């Protein structure tokens, strides 16, 4: 690694392999990851351990993990520039997790809104992993001394916990961890459901018309946008408070065409929603087509994907293992 790249700040982000990514995942996270590679030292992980807080089908989880890695490669993650790896392939994450659990307070963990939300959603499986999930997330970040973590609004509380636990550890045992900061992208951070634009787009939605999957074909994409909920106003105007459905579509069109919000409003002035929705669907289908082609090509080469993940795990482990040895020594664990 050159001196210049050593001066770059470290950024870490992860995505769970719980099925195909949605348009919301792509716009809010994955699309921006590729852009960050020139500016930062990037570590990107497929967070398979986090997925286990909900009972998974083992064969599907393995398949989804490889597919998630292939999609990240197709979307522009360059293994020559970034470290792409699977979370469970780097044991130091779980090793640090235990140390951080012992430095996190029960009250802190019980205040996490995601724990409350997911407990309500899965009352039959409120497990210990769901409760200590934020400590593992903190370990993911702190094991690499990440400076920045791209976060959505639903993760800011977890990042704050990571900072608090890191600070507590540093105070108790001497400076060890970098205190990470959130990295918020300017646009498209939150894409809303096409069926209910007051809620975030999610692949767990029971209505298949609510989300666009990155693997949806052109006809499916067009059909879903045609069915997208708008309003009775008939005017293409950006006004998230009063026109959430139309504003969501404008934001998507703006991202895929590069046209400003004002240009989009002018383009469809007096046109009605039918024409507008068709144009949004076409722009998204055109934008995703090259990624879908690349994804099919990469996924067909299993040896290539597994080779990238093997190299990524080795590179991530070199950094993480040094940190875990330092932490173990500081807390007093006997090193042989």
The tokens of 223 are what? 């059909």
| Residue from 200, 224, 243, 277 carrying the catalytic annotation | 200
Q: 148-150 and 181-183 as β-strands: parallel, antiparallel, unpaired?
A: parallel
Within 10 angstroms of residue 197's Cβ, the number of other Cβ atoms is 23
For residues 277 and 134, what is the distance between their CA atoms, to the nearest angstrom? 39
Is 310 assigned a catalytic role? no
Tokens of 331: 């807390």
Query: Catalytic: which of 8, 190, 203, 226?
Result: 203
Token output for 2? 């050159």
Q: Locate tokens 């140390």: which residue?
A: 99
Strand-pairing partners, residue 30, are none
DSSP, residue by residue, 108-132? HHHT-HHHHHHHHH-TT---HHHHH
Of the candidates 153, 167, 104, the residue with the CA atom closest to the CA atom of residue 133: 104
Q: Is 203 a catalytic residue?
A: yes
The yes-or-no answer on residue 118 being catalytic is yes
**Catalytic residue chosen out of the listed positions 8, 35, 116, 118:** 118
Active site positions, annotated: 118, 200, 203
């Amino acid at each position: 690694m050159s001196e210049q790249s050593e001066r770059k700040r470290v950024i870490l982000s992860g995505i769970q392999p719980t099925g195909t990514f949605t348009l919301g995942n792509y716009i809010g996270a994955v699309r921006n990851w590729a852009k960050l590679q020139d500016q930062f030292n990037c570590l990107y992980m497929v967070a398979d351990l986090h997925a286990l807080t909900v009972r998974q089908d083992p064969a599907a989880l393995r398949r989804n993990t490889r597919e998630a890695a292939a999609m990240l490669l197709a979307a522009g993650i360059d293994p020559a520039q970034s470290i792409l790896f699977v979370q469970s392939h780097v044991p130091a994450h779980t090793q640090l997790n235990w140390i951080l659990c012992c430095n996190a307070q029960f009250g802190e963990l019980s205040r996490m809104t995601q724990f409350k939300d997911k407990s309500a959603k899965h009352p039959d499986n409120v497990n210990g992993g769901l409760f200590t999930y934020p400590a593992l997330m903190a370990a993911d970040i702190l094991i690499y001394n990440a400076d920045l973590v791209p976060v959505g609004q639903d993760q800011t509380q977890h990042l704050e916990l990571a900072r608090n636990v890191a600070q507590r550890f540093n105070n108790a045992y001497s400076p060890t961890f970098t205190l990470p900061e959130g990295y918020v992208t300017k646009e498209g951070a939150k894409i809303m459901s096409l069926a209910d634009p007051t809620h975030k787009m999610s692949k767990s939605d029971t209505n298949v018309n609510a989300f666009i999957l990155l693997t949806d074909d052109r006809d499916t994409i067009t059909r879903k946008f045609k069915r997208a909920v708008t309003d009775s106003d008939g005017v293409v105007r950006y006004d998230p408070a009063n026109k959430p459905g139309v504003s969501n579509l404008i934001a998507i069109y703006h991202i895929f065409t590069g046209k400003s919000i004002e240009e989009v409003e002018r383009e469809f002035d007096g046109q009605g929603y039918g024409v507008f929705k068709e144009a949004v669907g076409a722009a998204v289908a055109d934008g995703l087509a090259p990624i879908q082609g690349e994804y099919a090509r990469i996924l067909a080469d299993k040896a290539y994907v597994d080779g990238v993940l093997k190299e990524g795990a080795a590179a991530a482990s070199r950094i993480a293992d040094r940190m875990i040895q330092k932490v173990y020594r500081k807390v007093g664990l006997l090193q042989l």
